[in-house]
Chains A and B, each alone.
Chain A
Amino acid sequence: MILSRLWRGLAGLALVLVVAWAAAAAWTGALDLDHGAWAQNQGTVPGNVHGTSNDADFWRQIRRGMPGKVSIPNPQAGVLVQSQGDNWRAIRNGPVLFYGGILLLASLAAIALFFLIRGRIRIEGGRSGRTIPRFSLTERIIHWFVACTFILLGITGLFLLFGKHLLVPIIGKAAFGVIANASLQCHNLFGPLFIVGIVAMFLVYLRDNGFNMVDVRWALKGGVLNSGHTSSEKNNAGEKIWFWMAVLGGLSLSVSGLMMEFPWWPTLELLQWANIAHVVVALGLIAVAFGHIYIGTLGVEGALEGMTKGEVDVNWGLEHHDLWAEEVLAEIEASRTKRRSDGYVPGVQQGSPAE
């Protein structure tokens, strides 16, 4: 009796153990339950799901950017790991950021040094009181349109590029998040307007920005660094170089900017190069723009008037752009001579009874 009960108890326990082992074996996929992970032991996938391929090779292929198949319209989503992204991040956050920052600081330092040495370049002969037309209303409007958009894009771009490193330690991540979010929206919004402006600027300013020997002589004499007189046309070589930098740089910024604004169009690799090119060109243009702004405002007396009022003092014209000023003065004189020969008397209305 006792033996019979003991036997049934052991049989029941054995049955429970067998069921538990079967469940565990089914769960793990292995008959010996103390077996380690298959991938760790033999480099094959449990259950031989992927055939006989090596798991390390499999992940190495993915790490190298081998595309898989996806059912969504974006084929780029088939690349699980785009390893070039690491290079892009390292370049952007490394040398581009570091040397870009140095470039901007060097530009500001050079301007400050130049100001300390030369001071404000005055009109040597003083103001004559007579003015000559320099930039038309169309030229001025396009210049300021491009300037407005460039400044907005420059400020927001610098926030996006340097903000994480310069602003976060001061204002914190949350506040920088607000600024970065706003900067990105602003940057995307004004980018297309800058493209329109730069194309208009190219068309309107092109005719005065072709290079010739006068520019070579101007440059060889030291350009703006030369304290003596150097002949130049309406635009000197420095201004012409700045024009072509702005146009070609603007074109580069436009193309790379459009790529980033419509990221589903180029490949990821192209997008990363576009981003690097965008940042490098923008930093270069901002650094030179500092000099342009300095010369146009504080650096040279009377220069800003050409772009605000459209007219400059005659003496300013003769000192800085003598060939152009003499041409304009000759045209004005020829016009006066013609009007006098036509019987025009200053101060008397043509066809009035007094005539």
Chain B
Amino acid sequence: MTFLELTEGPLWYVAATVFVVGAAWRLLGILRFGRKPDLSVPRASAAGGAIGAVIRHSLPRHGFAERTAYHIIAGYMFHLGLFALLLFAAPHITFIHDRLLGVSWPALPRWGFIVVAEVAFAGLIMLWVRRICDPVMRQISDADDHAGTWLTFLAMLTGCLALQEGNDVLRGIHMLTVEVWMVYFPFSRLMHAFTFVLSRGYMGATYGRRGIAP
């Protein structure tokens, strides 16, 4: 068994299982907490408050727009870039078609891939640099934050290094870093990819029921 066969075979299945089961376990655990019964008369819709909070917290807020512009811009650069790479890179679409879903869709052209990768890397570096430079961010950041950032960086970097697809070792290294990232994901703050909806929604529902838009 070659290195590539190992990473695309057994290791892939192990990582995918840990990722799916672990993330589902964490989400079910959060949902099982439920909500304290609120006996007060609702002034507005809790569901509307939840949806509104998820949307509002994704946009710059007047009064804070200038102060939050850096991390909002960098955040969107990184996250949108990452999702574009994940879903529209030609090798990923081939992998999804052949190994996962059996469906495919149009891929980014090579120049589009490179532009998106540049944007995503710039965003990720900007976010990490802010994490180490901003006194408050530095205080509230721990090893998990840095590990998550670096693993994501390595997964993206190895993916770009394997871009030519002419080298099995580079492709295998990319698969391995992605698998490490997937195994780490459920046990770390990388889970925010799923939990941000729950946390914002919970807060939005609680306040929305009282007629407040947080």
Query: Are the CB atoms of A185 and B134 closer together than 8 Å?
Result: no
Query: Are the CB atoms of A145 and B129 closer together than 8 Å?
Result: yes
Contact of B170 among A178, A193, A309, A310 (CB under 8 A): A178
Contact of A137 among B114, B133, B157 (CB under 8 A): B133
B146 shortest CB reach to chain A, Å? 14
Knowing A181-B167, A189-B121, say if A144 contacts B135 (CB, 8 Å): no
A148 / chain B contacts, CB cutoff of 8 Å? 125, 129
B87 / chain A contacts, CB cutoff of 8 Å? none
Query: Are the CB atoms of B122 and A193 closer together than 8 Å?
Result: yes
Chain A, 90-113, contact with B by CB distance < 8 Å: what is the 0/1 string? 000000000000000000000000
B203 shortest CB reach to chain A, Å? 28
Query: Are the CB atoms of A186 and B130 closer together than 8 Å?
Result: no
Report the interface size class on chain A.
Answer: 20 to 34
Q: Which residue in chain B gives the minimum CB-CB distance to A138?
A: B70
Query: Are the CB atoms of A186 and B129 closer together than 8 Å?
Result: no
Contact of A186 among B118, B157, B164 (CB under 8 A): B157
B73 / chain A contacts, CB cutoff of 8 Å? none
Query: Are the CB atoms of B122 and A196 closer together than 8 Å?
Result: yes
Judge if B103 is at the interface, Cβ distance under 8 Å. Answer: no
A309 shortest CB reach to chain B, Å? 6
Judge if B24 is at the interface, Cβ distance under 8 Å. Answer: no
Contact of B134 among A137, A145, A196 (CB under 8 A): A137
Query: Are the CB atoms of B170 and A141 closer together than 8 Å?
Result: no
A141 / chain B contacts, CB cutoff of 8 Å? 70, 126, 129-130, 133
B113 shortest CB reach to chain A, Å? 10
Q: Please, how many angstroms separate the alpha-carbon atoms of A246 and B114 in the complex? A: 26
Q: Please, how many angstroms separate the alpha-carbon atoms of A11 and B166 in the complex? A: 66
How many pairs of A and B residues are in contact by the CB < 8 Å rule? 56
Contact of A190 among B121, B129, B135, B169 (CB under 8 A): B121
Chain A stretch 122-152: residues in CB contact (< 8 A) with chain B: 137, 140-141, 144-145, 148-149
Q: Which residue in chain B gives the minimum CB-CB distance to A193?
A: B122
B147 / chain A contacts, CB cutoff of 8 Å? none
Judge if B161 is at the interface, Cβ distance under 8 Å. Answer: yes
Query: Are the CB atoms of A149 and B135 closer together than 8 Å?
Result: no
Knowing A186-B160, A189-B121, say if A178 contacts B169 (CB, 8 Å): yes
Q: Please, how many angstroms separate the alpha-carbon atoms of A185 and B167 in the complex? A: 12
Judge if B15 is at the interface, Cβ distance under 8 Å. Answer: no
Query: Are the CB atoms of A145 and B166 closer together than 8 Å?
Result: no
Judge if A84 is at the interface, Cβ distance under 8 Å. Answer: no
B122 / chain A contacts, CB cutoff of 8 Å? 193, 196
A182 / chain B contacts, CB cutoff of 8 Å? 161-162, 170
Q: Please, how many angstroms separate the alpha-carbon atoms of A140 and B132 in the complex? A: 10
Chain A stretch 70-92: residues in CB contact (< 8 A) with chain B: none
Judge if A337 is at the interface, Cβ distance under 8 Å. Answer: no
Chain B, 162-200, contact with A by CB distance < 8 Å: what is the 0/1 string? 111011011000000000000000000000000000000
Judge if B90 is at the interface, Cβ distance under 8 Å. Answer: no
Knowing A144-B129, A148-B125, A308-B133, say if A181 contacts B160 (CB, 8 Å): no
Contact of A181 among B70, B125, B132, B170 (CB under 8 A): B170
Query: Are the CB atoms of B163 and A185 closer together than 8 Å?
Result: yes
B133 / chain A contacts, CB cutoff of 8 Å? 137, 140-141, 144, 308, 310
Most central of A181, A186, A310 by chain B CB within 10 Å: A181
Complex A-B: 7 CB contacts under 8 Å: A140-B133, A141-B126, A145-B126, A148-B125, A189-B114, A189-B118, A308-B133
